[in-house]
Structure 1
């Protein structure tokens, strides 16, 4: 006997230590939820006793506390929680009947295999009927009627919730399998798309190298020969020939940079374009434009941009270069002002030119460069505006975050540097550029892995709800009778 008691005591101590470790490992949110559920069950089982006095108050209070205790027990010992509902089925506190279906449903959902859960339900039902028979021996004439009522209670409060819980428990492995399969398919789709994208980018890079590299090399060689000849025979033209040669060399370097970007996933600070968008880089662009005949000035407010994101600095470089190129093509000789402001985690850049003083024949264009700038800036979470100014000039302005967020944002178009009210945004009828809606493709959020499992979860939930619907109706009617019976007396 002493050995049995010793083994039992050691098992209890071991289980207590295991339970404490499990409690420490349980997330705080789960602990709070379980404590709240226990307090709610205790309130449901005890507070109505103050208004509707039972025949035996002490057992009724003990049953309410027992029901509250079964709530946390069902998580670690679900079989014991199901067995513990037997006294509640034959008790004197009718309000604890509300907690029985919830405890049984939640506990049987965690019991595997399902036959183990049904064995626990069978034992609990037999125990409840046995307790009811023992309690009704003194009233033999009504014993059969009492047992019939207990059988109905066991069926509605124990068997049907257990059936609902086992249905939900069987769905769990299937849902887990479907979720893993969905994750695998999504990953395979992403890898396939990435491989196809890299293959297409490599093909484009090869085509650009083959088609443009040879032409630019020829231009550079002939420009070098022209520079030597001009230095001997026409010294005034030597500067223009030198500009042609250096421009061809710069174009060749930029072509190599673009090919490197196409062959890689993303622009990094170690790439050749890592120093783009700094104050020195913008000053070089302004100096090159001056050599080409553009009267341009640069004003820079705030610190330099070496700590800004490489994509942001690349966008600043592209905005200034595209704007100065447009000035050279469409407004040759017009005074131009390049303004850059760097403060409060944002970079504001604008290029404004006056109306051309000499009427010429500007080169034709479709404003695809401005549309590309608009798309580039908005993908970084910034805003872009380009249009006419009241006195006949043109202005290109962009506002960019120093470090763009990881998510793609499409903010509303805003005026980055408070331009005049007459400034026409890209996409207006007078500007002739495509609207942002026509430039940007519609972007949809990726589908969650739950997209294919939610229908099954919904189906399981509907079946479980239909199974326990008679239980809910029975509880409502039974509690209504319990409340109205003292009033009727």
Structure 2
């Protein structure tokens, strides 16, 4: 069952309960009862409460309908003397929904209309309708008008305030999530820059060596000079492509100082076995499958390493001890990466910032013209799947 259907079912159940509650108060109130047919009382209860079932789809319309119905029924005397506040409970529910889904400046008119309508209807009922209702000698004396007005007003204000508070908290959480995602993108850009420093540094070193060789052998061994120049051409194109990508990613606001990384060998598919071993030490059994990555450009090899590294980190954090399958292979000109675990079907209580790693992975994959998807599997667990073209846009050169 989807979330929307589950919410609709919940609202329908709540609306039926409200219908029963309102019907009970108007048919058997503490004070004098309306002398009309029972069918009229039940119809009134349905009209007042049942629209709440679709309050999330049409919040303003539902508020208008249930509020007008409650005010009209109360003013007409079709109400439960002593329990008039119950007739405005559906309106309070609808008012909560309006406050939750709309900013305060748009929900305040609904609150004002509800307060004015409820106060006027309850006051009119006690001043003009109650004296005309038949009353038994031993009937309970209903609450006095100011008391019922106060309770009804308090209910409406409380529900509106709770809706505004929940909306505010959701807005704060959304802003925090956007801020964390932006921070993750900036961090990933800086990390990409450091990684490319290794790649470009390696390329420039190779170019320098081959240029020196070509210079020394220019007159004596022309065949070796040609081979050296070929290597220089290929390496320079690869390094230039990586450098352009780095500049494209870093050309954004909010970037900080880039500190070059140490000149160390670039991580790639060959280092994935070490990642799997470390994940095993953390209680995650990793089944690793690698294929067709021998001729992968260094930048794409690094991308595969980083994607798998972040995905395994998320598995260790959120999936508990489990089995994880990692596939990295080149198929039909695309580098395909997939990390799948068989953890719980639904990850509950993930810590704040759990999506930052996904934002970083997506940034890295998008940099090379690829795409990344991530989400829970129907049979349980979580899947991260990425694909990057090896040629032409995905290859460094």
Q: TM-score category by the smaller chain? A: 0.3 to 0.5
Superposition TM-score, scaled by structure 1 size: 0.39
Task: Pick the structure with greater CA Rg.
Answer: 1
TM-score for both structures, normalised by structure 2? 0.46
Greater per-residue helix proportion: 1
